[in-house]
Amino acid sequence: MAYSEKVLDHYENPRNVGSFNKDEKNVGTGMVGAPACGDVMKLQIKVGENGVIEDAKFKTYGCGSAIASSSLVTEWLKGKSLDEAMTIKNSDIAEELALPPVKIHCSVLAEDAIKAAIADLRQKQGQAGEADACDATCKS
Amino acid sequence: MSVRKPIYLDYSATTPVDQRVADKMIPYLTEHFGNPASRSHVFGWVAEKAVENAREQVAALVNADPKEIVWTSGATESNNLAIKGAANFYAGSKGKHIVTVTTEHKAVIDPVRELERQGFDATYLDPEPNGLVDLEKFKAALRPDTVLASVMLVNNEIGVIQDIEALGNLCRANGTMFHVDAAQATGKVDIDLEKLPVDLMSFSAHKTYGPKGIGALYVRRKPRVRLEAQMHGGGHERGFRSGTLPTHQIVGMGEAFHIAKEEMTLENARIKRLRDKLWAGLSEIEEVYLNGDLKQRVPHNLNVSFNFVEGESLIMAVKDIAVSSGSACTSASLEPSYVLRALGRSDELAHSSIRFSIGRYTTEEEIDYTIVLLKAKIGKLRELSPLWEMYQDGIDLNSVEWATH
Amino acid sequence: MSVYFDHNATSPMDSRVLEAMLPFLQQPHGNPTSRHGLGRQARAAIEQAREQVAAIAGAHPSQVVFTSGGTEADNLAVQGMCAALAPTRIAVSVIEHPAVMKPAQAMQRRGWSLTKVPVDANGQLDMQALEQTLRQPTALLSVMVANNETGVLQDIAAVTRLARRHNTLVHTDAVQALGKIEVDFTGQGLHAMSLSAHKIGGPQGAGALILDKSLDIQPLLHGGGQEKGLRSGTENVAAIVGFGQACELAQQELAERSANMLALREVLEAGLHRLGATVFGERVERLPNTSFFAFEGIDGETLVMALDRQGYAVASGSACSSDSTDPSPVLMAMGVAPDLALGAARVSFGPGNRIEQVSGFLQTLENELLRMKRMAAIAV
């Protein structure tokens, strides 16, 4: 299939590839997907004192659309609060990258990764209630 | 390095038409355009002569009688005709059970499934992890009511060569018809139908530097094999397959098979050297797995899994070369290659697989370029991969609980 | 220098069609299912051809299923449309091409009844007989638009109107009609229509079935799932591209081509009448290029051979049956006396034929007829 310009761009020049130390208190790590499905995304966020996401990094095992979705998301997350980050929808990602129908699931996974990272962070920082709500979404 | 891009390493999907074949075909498109069935004028006679000449050329490659060669529109149609045609003809006298292998091409599996829907019973054998069918297991699967067995000579994804002679003998002993899909085999391995105990064999032109849209079915005459025709009409090909014969395509297939007969031995030696060089270079990369037996394999094929890297992203990364992947993303469904799964490969390794199939026009420079490219791109993708990171940290990925959908 | 007057058997390739095909014969191109650039190029070429075929057929591109030719399309229609239904009745005209007749006959082994609807002396379908047939539950009716031997046309719109009133699906073999007259799949209310490339200056080895996709069809060829599962097998890219190009040219040039061929036929038949021939189906609408005729007391096979020796390629009935010694079943169905039918010969013009060739032919024909009559007199 032909890939959109934006997908190719993120694929050739992925933004924010790498890892933070997942044990740090202000780092949230979301790992979603499974090798058996052909998609695994690891998304990490580093949050500042004011609850705003300072930095984000990703690593993805998956097709071009999956890599592009997670790369795009790391750009969008920087500068957002956790609540704002929770509002990022897979449809926004899919639209921005012009994903064809057969690749929409890559954007869904990216949305799940954000929520998983935030849940991880909140759990670390002791906000158990929020974490429960998030788990339900992640497992859908 | 002066290589023409993209580099074509997907010869198992299709091959370019050899210039000598194209040259032979074109006069039959323009000047000698007659319908070979037209008995009443020279246009028809010229076309008919060319068709019969091509029939001899095809028969010569496989040591068969030209009368045993039936023209079809391709190997898919040959497979359909052989499987449905034989099963339906002999069901009354022999039985309604069919034996085949899970690694067969869809053009065999789907007709067998269709027969199941019509009341036949089928056994789909799994091969061994090296891709080869175990003779004892095959023998055990044959029943008194097994009317037909179908096993491909060379597998399209992993290139392994089945022991057709031994399998055929088992079928003979059981009174079972034996069909072999040889679409990937012509020009790559020797085929001698006088010696092989095979009743039906499918051929394709476009995998052997011939045109698309033409194939043939070998139908044994001694002892005589009967089939229920699938394409009815003007009675062409002795009633086996009606429809105007496409002269130019048949001429092309004949010439392609003629060239294969002449040049096969030397060509395969050169190709094997290139394939082995490619494998030597790629196996220098860490965590790389060969799919399928290396020895019982045609010299053109290399099917490799690159652990911790996903197949479609790899194909995108190596867009300077044309290859194919056993990854889910490149098939219509979200499932990985059923052939690799049948070998017992995990989903991850099936996802991360690339099939390299080289051919007549592959050069050493192209192989060298490919090795360099793969090493670079695998490195880059593994940097992106969380799985590679975990592997390097010493985590056993099998022990991880994944948050799946 | 041979003159070709057998375009209904097959036609010479138009050089513009060859030009379109050559890149796909001489240069490497991918398997259209492959995902890489070469494969995508092949895929794009096929989809363009699909649009070209749909345009001339009066159909939507999604209704076009590529096959290896007209015979396969006919088989897919008859077998495919019926296999998905519980067996009742198939009706065909008595003059259908073997590529429709034989699969319909084969369906009888699967529990289907077969009715052959008669034609009148002009070769047109007996509508009353058709109405009677359709009163019994009939799943499928197949009537060819134009007969390959006589060129006689059927009123397909009237046939489909009648059939739909009885809930019968209609297939038509339009192999001979394409490129000679207008065909309109949608406008004529058809459910399926067969086409072939090599009758309109395209290559042998490509055809199509135009199909109403709301119907449940069982494919003939199972396998990799090409053509949305309806026809598996690696697509014959070069031939399909040629088919598309041939369709586009045929559509653009239809009016001109048919006017030319009609003019040639009129000159031919004026001459044939002068020589005392019977021309079959001349009282009704026919394809503009076809003339099926016979001379009393002259053997058709012999005449055709003699004409070939003089450099004219014609036919004595359809190519497929040019092996048998029986009179044409089409003429039998029209009530033509067997003796006269055995004398039948067919001339079918194409875009490349010219008026001088027809005059030359008539002169030669006259000479050969004279010679044959003299020999018959001596033999007595």
Provide ipTM, 2 decimals. 0.83
Q: Categorize the per-residue pLDDT at A136 as very low, low, confident or very high, splitting at 50, 70 and 90.
A: very low
d(CA C257, CA C147): 19
pLDDT tens digits, one per residue of A99-124: 988 889 999 999 999 999 999 998 88
Would the CB atoms of A61 and B404 count as touching at under 8 Å?
no
Active-site residue identified among B3, B37, B329, B373: B329
pLDDT score recorded for residue A39 = 87
Q: Which strands make up the sheet holding B353-357, listed edge to edge?
A: B288-290, B301-306, B353-357, B324-325
B336 to chain A: which residues are within 8 Å by CB? 38
Q: How many Cβ atoms from other residues are within 10 Å of residue C87's Cβ?
A: 14
Per the listing, tokens 């202000």 go with A26
Contacts of residue C203 in chain B, CB cutoff 8 Å? 29, 246, 248
Task: Note the pLDDT tens digit of each residue in C126-156.
Answer: 999 999 999 999 999 999 999 999 999 999 9
User: Is 50 exceeded by the pLDDT of residue A134?
Assistant: no
Half-sphere exposure at residue C142, Cβ-oriented, CA atoms within 13 angstroms: 33
Percent of all residues in chain A with a pLDDT value above 70, rounded to a whole number: 89
A-C Cβ pairs (cutoff 8 Å, strict): 3
- Report the pLDDT value the prediction gives residue A3, as an integer from 0 to 100: 74
Query: How far apart (Å, rounded) are the C-alpha atoms in residues C140 and C155?
Result: 17
Residue where the block lists tokens 């000679």: C180
Lowest-pLDDT range, B110-119, B332-341, C163-172, C195-204?
B332-341
Mean of per-residue pLDDT scores for chain C: 92
Look at residues B140, B130, B126 and name the one whose alpha carbon lies nearest to residue B161.
Answer: B130
What are the residues facing A53 on neighbouring strands?
A: A47
In a 3-state reduction of DSSP, which class is residue B225? coil
**pTM metric for this prediction:** 0.79
Provide the pLDDT confidence category of residue C99 given band limits of 50, 70 and 90: very high
Neighbouring residues of B161: CB distance < 8 A, sequence distance ≥ 6: B153, B154, B185, B189, B296, B297, B298
pLDDT digits (tens, 9 = 90+) for C108-133: 988 999 999 999 999 999 999 999 99
Contacts of B403 in chain A (CB under 8 A): 31-34, 112, 116, 138-139
Mean pLDDT score of chain B: 92
> Residue A130 has what pLDDT?
46
Contacts of B310 in chain A (CB under 8 A): 38-39, 61-63, 66
Cβ neighbours of A135 in B, within 8 Å: none
Residues of A in contact with C40 (CB under 8 A): 1-2
Tell me the pLDDT tens digit for each residue of C172-188: 999 999 999 999 999 99
Amino acid at A61: Y
Handedness of CA B156, B106, C208, C90 (dihedral sign): positive
Q: Which residues of C are the active-site residues?
A: 320
- pLDDT confidence of residue A2: 60
SS3 C63: helix
For strands C290-294 and C278-279, give the pairing. Answer: antiparallel
| pLDDT of C212 above 60 | yes
pLDDT grade for B351, boundaries at 50, 70 and 90: confident
Q: Which sequence positions of A are flagged as catalytic?
A: 37, 106
- Give the residue with greater pLDDT, C23 vs B178: B178
B37 to chain C, any CB pair closer than 8 A? The answer is yes
Residue A128 pLDDT greater than 50, yes or no: no
B186-224 burial, b at 16+ Cβ within 10 Å, e below that, comes to: bbbbebebeebbbbbbbbbbbbbbbbbbbbbbbbbeeee
Nearest chain A residue to C33 by CA distance is A1
Asked whether residue A47 carries a pLDDT value surpassing 90, the answer given is: yes
**What integer is the mean pLDDT of B81-107?**
95
Concatenated DSSP letters for C15-46? HHHHHHHHHHHHS----TT--SHHHHHHHHHH
pLDDT given at position C318: 55
State yes or no: is B329 an active-site residue.
yes
Cis link prior to C288 (omega < 30° from 0)?
no
Q: A45 pLDDT exceeds 90? A: yes
Among chain A residues, CA nearest to B329: A63
C285 to chain B, closest Cα gap in Å: 26
- A-proximal residues of C, 322-351, CB under 8 Å: none
B358 alpha-carbon distance from chain centroid: 14
Which residues, at least 6 apart from C268, have a Cβ–Cβ distance to it below 8 Å?
A: C291, C347, C358, C361, C362
Q: Which residues of chain C have a CB within 8 Å of the CB of A1?
A: 35, 40
Residue closest to B164 by CA, chosen among B198, B124, B202, B128: B198
Residue C1 has pLDDT above 80, yes or no: no
Q: Give dist(CA B84, CA B108) in Å, integer.
A: 10
Read off the pLDDT of residues C281-320 as tens digits, 9 standing for 90 and up.
999 999 999 999 999 888 888 899 899 999 999 998 655 5
Which of C29, C222, C231 would you mutate first to test chain B, the one with the most B CBs within 10 A?
C222
CB pair distance less than 8 Å for A2 and C40: yes
Q: Is the dihedral of CA C114, C119, C123, C127 positive or negative?
A: negative
* pLDDT digit string, tens, across residues C7-19: 999 999 999 999 9
CA closest to B353 among chain A residues: A38
Beta-carbon contacts of residue A102 (< 8 Å; ≥ 6 apart): A1
pLDDT value at position B201?
98
- HSE of C370, CA atoms in CB hemisphere, 13 A: 6
List the single residue in C with minimal CA-CA distance to A1: C35
Q: Is A10's pLDDT higher than 80?
A: yes
* pLDDT tens per residue across span B381-391: 999 999 999 99
Chain B partners of C313 at a C-beta cutoff of 8 Å?
Answer: 34, 38, 40-44
Angle separating helix axes C156-165 and C127-135, nearest 10 degrees: 20
pLDDT tens per residue, range C53-85: 999 999 999 999 999 999 999 999 999 999 989
- The enclosing H or E element of B61 equals helix B42-61
pLDDT band at residue C366 under the 50/70/90 scheme: very high
C257/B405 Cα distance (integer angstroms): 62
SS3 A28: strand
C40 touches chain A (CB under 8 A): yes
pLDDT at residue A12, as a whole number: 85
Indicate whether B1 pLDDT > 70: no
**DSSP single-letter state for residue C125:** B
pLDDT in tens, B204-240: 999 999 999 999 999 999 889 999 999 898 889 988 9
Letter string b/e over residues C57-70, b meaning 16 or more CB atoms within 10 A of that residue's CB: bbbeeebbbbbbbb
Cβ–Cβ gap A2/C35 under 8 Å? no
pLDDT at B405: 47
Q: Kindly determine whether residue B310 and residue A17, on different chains, have CB atoms separated by under 8 Å.
A: no
Going by pLDDT thresholds of 50, 70 and 90, the confidence category of residue B305 is: very high
Q: Which residues of B373-403 are buried (b: 16+ CB within 10 A; e: fewer)?
A: bbeebbeebbebbbbbbbbeeeeeeeeeeeb
Query: Is a pLDDT exceeding 70 seen at residue C322?
Result: no
Closest CB from C11, C222, C321 relative to B114: C222
Contact A64 B397 (CB under 8 A): no
**Is the peptide bond prior to B336 cis by the omega test (within 30 degrees of 0)?**
no
**Partner A, chain B 65-104, Cβ-Cβ below 8 Å:** none
Size of interface B-C (CB pairs under 8 A): 252
* Closest alpha carbon to C49 in C185, C194, C197: C197
Which of C173, C212, C214, C217 shows the shortest CA–CA distance to C69?
Answer: C173
Inter-chain CB proximity B334 and A37 less than 8 Å: yes
B285 contact A CB<8A: no
Note whether B43 contacts C: Cβ–Cβ < 8 A: yes
- Judged against a pLDDT cut of 60, whether residue A131 lies above it is answered with no
Separation between Cα atoms, residue B330 and residue B327, nearest integer Å = 6
Give the total residue count for chain C.
380
The continuous run of DSSP H or E covering B74 comes out as none
Yes or no: say if B160 and B153 are a contact pair by the CB < 8 Å rule.
Answer: no
**A13: exposed, middle or buried (Cβ count in 10 Å: 0-12, 13-18, 19+):** exposed
Question: Given this model, what pLDDT does residue C377 score?
Answer: 67
Structure token pair of residue C97: 């091409």
* B230/C75 CB distance under 8 A: yes
Q: Binning pLDDT at 50, 70 and 90, where does residue B108 land? A: very high
The helix/strand/coil state of C331 is helix
**Listed range (A75-84, B249-258, B278-287, B344-353) with the worst mean pLDDT:** B344-353
Neighbours of chain B (3+ CB pairs under 8 A): A, C
Q: How many CB atoms lie within 10 A of CB C164?
A: 13
B33 in reach of chain C (CB within 8 A): yes
pLDDT of residue C164: 94
Per the model's pLDDT, the better-predicted residue between C316 and B79 turns out to be: B79
- Write out chain B residues lying below 8 Å of C76, CB-based: none
For residue B149, the SS3 value is strand
Q: Would you say how long chain A is, in residues?
A: 140
Closest CA to B76 of C238, C235, C63: C235
Distance, CA of C154 to CA of C77 (rounded, Å): 19
> Are A11 and B316 a contacting pair at CB < 8 A?
yes
Closest approach of chain C CAs to the CA of A24, in angstroms?
43
Looking at residue B404, what is its pLDDT?
60
SS3 C352: coil
Phi–psi pair at B339, nearest 5 degrees: -70, -50
Cα–Cα dist C243/C188, whole Å: 23
Minimal Cα–Cα distance from C41 to chain A, Å? Answer: 11
Which chain B residue has its CA at the smallest distance from A57's CA? B384
Which of B271, B279, B273, B276 lies closest to B374 in space, CA to CA? B279
pLDDT at residue A140 tops 70: no
Max avg pLDDT among C45-49, C216-220, C222-226, C315-319: C45-49
DSSP for B25-37? HTHHHHTS---TT
Token pair 């449940």 is found at: C216
Measure A62 CA to nearest chain B CA, in Å: 5
Residues in contact with C344: Cβ distance below 8 Å, sequence separation at least 6, in sequence order: C149, C280, C292, C293, C294, C300, C316, C317, C327, C328, C331
Interatomic CA distance for residues C288 and C146, integer angstroms: 11
